[in-house]
Amino acid sequence: MPLVLAADAAAGEAPESEAHARARKVRPELARGELVRVAGGGNQAEAELIGGLLLEEGIPSLVRRAAGSDVPDFLAAGQRDVLVPESGAEAARELLAQVEAAAPGTAGSSASESSHALRLAAAIAVGALVAALVAWILVTATL
C-alpha cells in the first residue's frame, strides 16, 4: 500500500476523486472574487502547466480558450488564458515572475537571438557572394 494512502487513511479523509484532491490543495483566502487573467499559454498543455504550478501554491485557476483564438480542427491548439480569483491574482503574478526569473536561458535570450540572426544573415550574404563569383567565372571562361 502506498504511503500516501496510508497517511490519508490515518487522517480519516481519503480523496474521493481527482477534483476532491485538487480542492484540498486550494487556500480559501485565495479563492475569492471575480476571475482575472494572470497568464497565457501558447496551447492547452502550457496553460495547464501554469495552472498546476499555481495549484501547488494553493492558488485555484481556470484555463479557457483565449478570445479570438479558435482552432476547431486542433482542440488542444490555440492560445489559452489562465484565470485566477482576484484575491489570488497578486500571489499568482509574483509566483509566475519568480518562476520566469529562475528559468534557465531566459536572461539575455533576446541578445543571443539577435546575434544568431545576424550570423545567419552574414552566412546567407557570403553564400550569395560565392555563388555570384562562381557564376561570373563560368560566364567569362566560356567566352
Tens digits of residue pLDDT in 50-94: 888 888 888 888 888 777 666 666 666 778 888 999 888 888 889
Q: Cell 557572394, residue? A: 129
Q: Which residues contact 87 (CB under 8 A, 6 or more apart)?
A: 29, 30, 31, 32, 33
pLDDT at residue 106 greater than cutoff 60: no
Q: How confident is the model at residue 2 (pLDDT cuts 50, 70, 90)?
A: very low
Quick: pLDDT tens for 35-46: 889 988 888 888
| CB of 79 closer than 8 Å to CB of 46 | no
Whole-number Å distance between alpha carbons of 6 and 21: 15
| CB of 10 closer than 8 Å to CB of 62 | no
Secondary structure class of 48 (helix, strand, coil): helix
Q: What average pLDDT does range 112-135 have in this prediction?
A: 89
Residue 36: φ, ψ to 5°: -130, 150
Helix or strand holding residue 5 (H, E) = helix 3-11
pLDDT reported for residue 72: 66
| CB of 89 closer than 8 Å to CB of 114 | no
| CB of 8 closer than 8 Å to CB of 2 | no
Residue 134: φ, ψ to 5°: -65, -45
pLDDT at residue 107 greater than cutoff 60: no
Whole-number Å distance between alpha carbons of 61 and 64: 10
Percent of the chain with pLDDT over 90: 15
